Each structure stands twice: as C-alpha cells, then as structure tokens.
Structure 1
Amino acid sequence: MRIWRFVIAAFSCCMLHGFDAETAKIIQTYRTTGLQNTAKLLDTYLQDKAFWLQILQERDTEYGYFERYKYLFISDKSLPNLMLYTISPNGKLELVKEVSALVGKGKGNKRLSGDLTTPIGVYDFTDKLTKLPPYYGPLAYTTDYPNNYDRSLKKTGYGIWIHGLPLDGNREELNTKGCIAIDNNVLSDFGKLVDYRQALLISYEQKIHKPSKDELAQILAQLYGWRAAWLANDLERYLGFYSREFARPNGMKYNAFASYKRQVFAKNEEKVINFSDISVVPYPNEEHRQMFRISFTQDYRAYKNGKSSYTSSSYKILYVIYENGDMRIVSEQ
C-alpha cells in the first residue's frame, strides 16, 4: 500500500503539468512491469536536482528547506538579537517579531563549559520550562547544546536556554553565561505561540550563508543518492558521501566507521529505507565553510532470506560540508 500511495502521489503531481514524456514513462513502467519497478523509477527522480528545484520553486529558502518545523528562531549574537519566524506548510516564512537580546560575552563559538560564550550552530529544543527561579523570567526554552556535531569536536557545556529577565527587574549584568535572554513580555507571547517540539534555533555571529535553491536542490538530491547507495549495498558509493574528517560523538573516526560499515554491508541484506520530515538548514561555523544540517525521520527495515532482521524508526541528523557541488558527511546522529 505504501508504494501504491507513492505512485498515486507522483502521478497526481505529474498530471498538473499534462502528459509529458516523463509522465508517460512512469505510466508505461507501471503498465508493463508493475509497482515495484515503478517505485524504483520514482526513486531515480528523487536523486535528480531538477525534481527538487520544482519542489523549492515557490518556497522561501533563505534559511533552508523545512518539512518538520513550524517555528524558527534566528539569533545574530554580534548585534545581539533574536527573531522568530513561523513556517507555513508550503514553506513560507513570516516574521513574528525581532527583539534585542542579551548573550554571553565570549566571541566566536562556545568550546568549554564556563567560557561564557553563546554557541554558534543549529539546535533543537528539548523542553519548555516554567516555575523557574525569578532570575530566568517567566519561562525558558532549553536547547540540545552540545549537539552531536559539538560533541564530535569535544565541546563541553550545558544549560543553553532562551529565557527572560529577572522578574524583579534587577539585572546588573549586560551579558549571560551563554544563554539568549530577551524581554519577558515578548518571551511570554512566544510561549503562547511556539511548540518547542516543532521549533529550531539558528545562532550565528555577523555572517550566515543563505543558501540558493540550486544548492538546496543538489543537497536533497544527494541525500537520496546516499540512500540509493545504502539500499543497493554499494559500499564504495555509500562511503563516497562521507568526509575523511568524519567523526562520531563517541570518538569513532572515518577509518573505523568504514570498517564497521564494511561488516554491515557484507551481510547483503535487503532494505527498505524511507525518509520523511526532511529539513536542510545552513550550519554557521567559525571556519565559514559551507555547512548544512540535514534532519529527517528514518524508517528502516532490513531482511535476510525473506525474514525481518532489523527494524527501526528514528530521528536522524547529518552534518555535512558542501564544496564544489558535493555534500560530504562530517558527523551524524
């Protein structure tokens, strides 16, 4: 049934543009060889930048491509400020409010616990806290700093929040210990609107790379190229999507990772891998490299001799560098 829904959705999309050559090719494949081969044909379109350019055409993409998220916080710590956008289902961004903020006094990226620096990067929120000590204002959104990329770089620290100002109005410090602090009334308004589970924070200093639609389309196509290599047990092509700088939070480097994957691929299992809720956003960094964070829900099933050998459903994040039109994974969750 999953394949059948996939075919109908693709066919409906094609019908909007009439029976062109590609539409006819899909229908003819279905007519002569059935659903399985039609699904394989549709998978090739997912690896085609032209397909993704069509998807991105009417979307606002200055901060990336969003399927999962409905709210986006953006902070330039050099000002410092905090902006909140809503993200519509069709990818339109609407600025709710921009407000001045307090941040840590440290410059550049956070590296160590206690360095009084606000991180640069992209972060999910893990909770919305109320009934806090009055110092933090009416509420706080907690982030997942250090994320997996931070931990792969051996960064430390904790408790990076978006919070308010002391409820008694008595705050002498002009900086935080690394958090982002804003006006209590504005924060209370945000608290009524924002579901932290559907929100993302991008924090940067002075400059952020705003991706082109061409870049995002290429990355999305290559994401599905990585998936295709995985499905086909094509180890060399699969590893070709990884940077030699690759490191996992547990310390595993590229060579150890490649050896581990060689053992897994040697099982020659059949796989079903589906991605949903995909988001691709620029990842600010001190080196000013073109980096992106790709997040998605991954449903994975493996079979050996027709029997299920492994099943999982997980939220996955890839941190990638993008150079000369190619993405290379430098860390993953």
Structure 2
Amino acid sequence: MLRTTRRAKRAICLVTLLLLAPAARPLMIDSRSPYFTLSSDEAGSAAKGTPEERILAALDFIRTGNMADARATVDALLEEKPNYRLAYLLRADLYAMRAMPLNTIGDGATQLDLAHQQMAERLADLRKEALVRMNYRNMPTPPDLLPANILQFTPQQKYAILVDADTSRLYIFANDNGVPKMVKDHYVTVGKLGVGKSVEGDQRTPIGVYFVYKHLPRPQLDKTYGQLADLYGVGAWPISYPNELDKSNQKTGSGIWLHGSPAATYARAPQASNGCVVLTNEEMLDVAQYLQIGTTPVIVTPKVEWLTRAQWKERHSTAASTLGQWKNAWESLNTEQYLNFYGSQFISGEGQNINAWRQQKAQVNAGKKWAKVELKDLSIFAVTGGTPQMVATFEQDYRSDNLENKMRKRLYWQPENGQWKIRWEGNAIN
C-alpha cells in the first residue's frame, strides 16, 4: 500500500480547493527575494481592512518577502471569507514557496502538474483578478478629478453608477449640487468576451447609458429560476438594455443586470459573466442602497475619461450650450439651422430617417408663426472611449400658435465630422 507523503496530501487538497472555483496576466515576483529562506513556522500579523485591501496587502507582503504576515493575512481572510478563491490561490503559493521559487501568481498550483485545460483556465482567471486589483491599486484615481461621463444630474438623481470596463471598476458618484462627487468604488466582473454587446447570447456587456428600472430580490429569483437563482447571489437590479439607441441599431438581447455572486464564489474573474455587471454579494448590497428605481443612471463605458475640475466645467458648459443652441434653432423656425444639428444616420423614435425628418419639419415650420420650447429636469451623461456618445434627457414643454405638447424626451448625440450631431430623438422609455 502506497504511503501518501505530506507534500502529496497538500497537493491533493490544493487541487480540490481550486477545482471549486470559476473565476481573473501574470504578476512577476522577484526570485532573488530572501523569502525563500524564511521559516514556515514564523508567526505573522494579519493586515486589516476590506477583503480587497487585505488581498492586496498579502500580495505586497509576498513581493517584499514578508511571508509570515502574508500567511497570517491570507489565513485570516479565508477564515472570514471561505469562498474567496483568489485567497486560496495565494495560500497555495505560500505553501509552495517553502520548497521552490515561483515566477507568477498560481505557480504553486501549476507546478503540481495540473492536467486539465479547465483548471488551467480557472488559474488564469484568478491571475487576471489579482492583476486587475493590483493595477487599480497602483494607479488610483486622483481624488480631485471628475468623470467626463457625468455632466449634469437632474435634482431627483441622488447618485450615478459608472462602470469602467477597462479597469473592471464600478464607481458610485453622488449629486453634490450638480457636480459628481465620488462616494466609493468596487471591483466588478463584466462579460466573458468583454464589452460591446450587439446580439443575444454574445456574452458581452453593453456600452451605453442605461437606467435601473427594477429590483429582483432573491426570494423572487428563487421562485422564478429555482436552483439557477444562486447565480445572482443576493439579488438583481435590471438595467434598460437595449436602450432607444441600441434598438435603432438593431441590437438584440435582454436581461442585463447588476447582480451578486453565487454562494460558493466570493468574487468572479474580470470577464466571466454572460453580459451582466457582477459584484460580490456584500458589495452588491452596498451598491443597492444608492440605487433609485427608474432614476439612477448606469453608465457603462470602455474607459472613463478623468478631467480636472476646470476641464469638467468646460465640458459641462459645452454640452449644455450645444443643447441650448439646438433649442434656440427649433424656436427660431429656421428649418435649415435646426436640421444642421441632426446627423446623416439620424433615426427618430417613430423610425423616420433624416430625409423623412427633414421633410416633416419643413412642413410643420411653414405652418407656424412662433414656437417656444422649455427644457426642465435636464440630465446629461456620456460614453467615452470607443465610439463616444452623449445622452440628454429632459421634460420638454413645447408651445406654438397652433400646438401645445409636453413629453419626457431623450436625445442621443454622436460625433460626425468633428461636431456633435443628434443620432436619435424621441420619447424617453426609462
């Protein structure tokens, strides 16, 4: 009968733990560090803070050769969060480091000759998660910068959610007298194939300006989905994909939500969802307290553009001025001046293209003596990176000598030949 060695037992336990995980570029560790000679029995002190702060502290301890504090931090974290798979991976590395130098996060596991491709992919996901978290910590957002994505709140909008797909980060901004003020931020997961959703089932997260329109609590998910409800963790908050612009571009798909994580998984890899934006359960509950159903915008952008306060004020003024010029041209009954704000790819909410729109507006203006347009409760949000867009939503009060009309309207603007042009106009659905 073969006698299993102590090291083999550790290997079996490690593989079992890792096989429980879905998931996250390798992070190089200096092999000349003196940590290879530290005693495995040396006592250490665990770092304190949030789970993310502690996982980053453990990585810092490993880089500087402080294995005792690294072990203590990881052990304490796993005692509190027994489903934190990245912490298990670091524990595996810390065991393996006692016997051999390692080159990347997770090398302690790969050197145990894991044979299955699925395991290799899971390890790669965990490495990606570690890298994304460390990159964000090493390049923090300066506290005095503001996002170009949030240019104007309505008075009713207390908060806005901004998702930066490039850094796998979700930001919560408060409405501070019309100026965005960062409240906090969290690590998030997006689609397995990244962003830019266009068709049903493409496993991408949509890019655009959306709104939270519903809350699906866990009991309701359990009733609807049974055991599959565990995928959504503590609950889900659907967002309004496809929005009006998405539909005009024939984009398909639905069911894009903010939601939590399965019970057995503390955090998922940066790209692991079917298109939703996913947080840990405790962080999803934290974000939920800032969500106003039907009101809170969720802006998903390829990359956040950060501005100084002076730059932000200038961007805000430019956006508001552009909208004001459009309104003034409409009131002037100067059809050509008014139509100059519409792009060649324009589609109205009723499906009219720019030619049909031009003909209709010329006929309408010819029969009017005067017009007055008032815009209330205006919000302006923007997508930066990739194909930019600006989204203005407002309560419109239109009056003329032969017509009065009030409606909640939305305009989607996109650049064309170096100028902002209206790409879609119509009733605001959400």
Counterpart position of 1:114:
201
Counterpart position of 1:176:
273
Residue 255 of structure 1, CA deviation:
0.8
Counterpart position of 1:148:
244
Given the superposition, is the C-alpha separation of residues 297 and 167 from structure 1 closer, same or farther in structure 2, using an over 3 Å criterion? farther
Matched, 1:101 2:201: no
Matched, 1:187 2:273: no
**Contact 1:146-1:158 at 8 Å conserved across structures:** yes
Counterpart position of 2:213:
126
Look at both structures and tell me which one has the larger radius of gyration over its CA atoms.
2
Matched, 1:83 2:176: no
Residue 178 of structure 1, CA deviation:
0.6
**Contact 1:120-1:285 at 8 Å conserved across structures:** no
Structure 2, unaligned stretches of length 5 or more? Answer: 1-143, 223-228
**1-structure distance, mates of 2:178, 2:266:** 43
**1-structure distance, mates of 2:252, 2:273:** 17
Letter in 1 for 2:255: G
**1-structure distance, mates of 2:318, 2:417:** 11
Please say which of residues 134-143 and 200-209 is displaced more in the overlay.
200-209
Counterpart position of 1:295:
393
TM-score by length of structure 1 reads 0.72
Structure 1, unaligned stretches of length 5 or more? Answer: 1-57
Larger helix proportion, structure 1 or 2? Answer: 2
**2-structure distance, mates of 1:114, 1:326:** 34
Counterpart position of 1:332:
425
Residue 90 of structure 1, CA deviation:
4.1
Number of residues of Structure 1 aligned to a counterpart in Structure 2:
268
User: RCO (CA 8 Å, sep 6+): is it higher in 1 or 2?
Assistant: 1
Residue 254 of structure 1, CA deviation:
0.9
Structure 2 SS opposite 1:85: strand
Counterpart position of 1:286:
386
Counterpart position of 1:48:
none
Counterpart position of 1:17:
none
Residue 92 of structure 1, CA deviation:
4.1
- The partner residue of 1:310 within 390, 404, 418 is 404
- The partner residue of 1:223 within 313, 318, 323 is 323
Counterpart position of 2:414:
321
**Contact 1:111-1:156 at 8 Å conserved across structures:** yes
Letter in 1 for 2:383: Y
Aligned pairs for 1:13-24 within 5 A: none
**1-structure distance, mates of 2:290, 2:238:** 16
Letter in 1 for 2:150: G
Structure 1 SS opposite 2:273: coil
Matched, 1:166 2:262: yes
- The partner residue of 1:203 within 300, 310, 330 is 300
- The partner residue of 1:64 within 126, 144, 150 is 150
**1-structure distance, mates of 2:151, 2:166:** 25
**Contact 1:80-1:100 at 8 Å conserved across structures:** yes
Query: CA offsets, 1:174-231, max 9 Å, x none?
Result: 6111100111112112223322333111112245475743333122112111111211
Query: CA offsets, 1:259-280, max 9 Å, x none?
Result: 1222222221533321122222
**1-structure distance, mates of 2:417, 2:306:** 15
**Contact 1:215-1:325 at 8 Å conserved across structures:** no
**2-structure distance, mates of 1:98, 1:171:** 15
**1-structure distance, mates of 2:373, 2:276:** 38
**Contact 2:149-2:383 at 8 Å conserved across structures:** no
Given the superposition, is the C-alpha separation of residues 270 and 139 from structure 1 closer, same or farther in structure 2, using an over 3 Å criterion? farther
Superposition RMSD on alpha carbons, in Å? 2.8
**1-structure distance, mates of 2:347, 2:235:** 35
Given the superposition, is the C-alpha separation of residues 89 and 129 from structure 1 closer, same or farther in structure 2, using an over 3 Å criterion? farther
- The partner residue of 1:258 within 343, 358, 362 is 358
**2-structure distance, mates of 1:108, 1:272:** 41
Counterpart position of 1:40:
none
- The percentage of counterpart residues that share the same residue type is 28
Counterpart position of 2:77:
none
Residue 296 of structure 1, CA deviation:
1.6
- The partner residue of 1:244 within 331, 344, 348 is 344
TM-score by length of structure 2 reads 0.56
Residue 170 of structure 1, CA deviation:
9.1
Structure 1 SS opposite 2:363: helix
Structure 1 SS opposite 2:398: strand
Letter in 2 for 1:62: A
**Contact 1:219-1:326 at 8 Å conserved across structures:** no
